Amino acid sequence: MAFGLVAAQYSYAQDPQSPQSQISLWFLDKRVPILEQTSDWIQRDKYCVGLSAMGRQLDAAIAPDAKVFMTGMLGPTNSPSAGYYYFLRNYLFPRHLEISLDGKATYTVDGFVGVPCDSPDILKSNGYDVMILFSNGQLQNVIALTPKATRKQNE
């Protein structure tokens, strides 16, 4: 077993373009000096997990008490995107993050079920400060609905 693990590390390091090379010890060792010199957490995350960097950027940009709505998470076609909701929910905590307008999204075998909304005006009238427009498995835009969407105006 140990031989197999070690042999895999050498084969991964041979092709820097392969996705497996990202987890090779050789590649990780190359990143250590870069990460040591980087004190900014967002920049550090960009070298590791891009979604982490995006989550940290959003966290730094919006007020701690902002209410956030994330579109494009409901229904069976958006089921593979559910991980983004859970990921951002972690990074934006303690903010209130919703994907259903009624606040009662339920996860089923076919994905989240709830009340969709992609209208900034309706979200604003329901007390949301930030709209994260998510479509086709990717973040499309972050829309500020109130001044709480920008931390500088609140501090």
pLDDT in tens, 85-130: 888 888 889 899 999 999 898 888 888 999 999 899 999 999 999 9
Q: Are residues 88 and 34 in the same domain?
A: no
Q: Are residues 92 and 131 in the same domain?
A: yes
Mean pLDDT of the residues in the chain: 78
Q: Are residues 14 and 76 in the same domain?
A: no
Q: Are residues 64 and 133 in the same domain?
A: yes
Q: Are residues 45 and 92 in the same domain?
A: no
Q: Are residues 72 and 136 in the same domain?
A: yes
Q: For residue 23, what are the domain limits?
A: 2-52
DSSP 77: G
Contact 55, 87 (CB under 8 A): yes
Q: Are residues 40 and 97 in the same domain?
A: no
Q: What does the alpha-carbon distance between residue 27 and residue 150 come to, in Å, rounded to a whole number?
A: 37
125-144, pLDDT tens digit by residue? 999 999 998 887 777 888 89
Count of domains for the chain: 2
Q: What CATH number does the domain containing 77 carry? A: 3.40.50
Q: Indicate left, alpha or beta for 74 from its phi (over 0: left) and psi (-120 to 50: alpha).
A: beta
Global confidence as pTM:
0.71
Q: Are residues 75 and 136 in the same domain?
A: yes
Q: Are residues 81 and 36 in the same domain?
A: no
Position 28, amino acid: L
DSSP characters over 9-55: HHHHHH-TTSGGGGGSHHHHHHHHHHHHH---HHHHHHHH-HHHHHH
Q: Which of 52, 74, 91 is the last residue of a domain?
A: 52
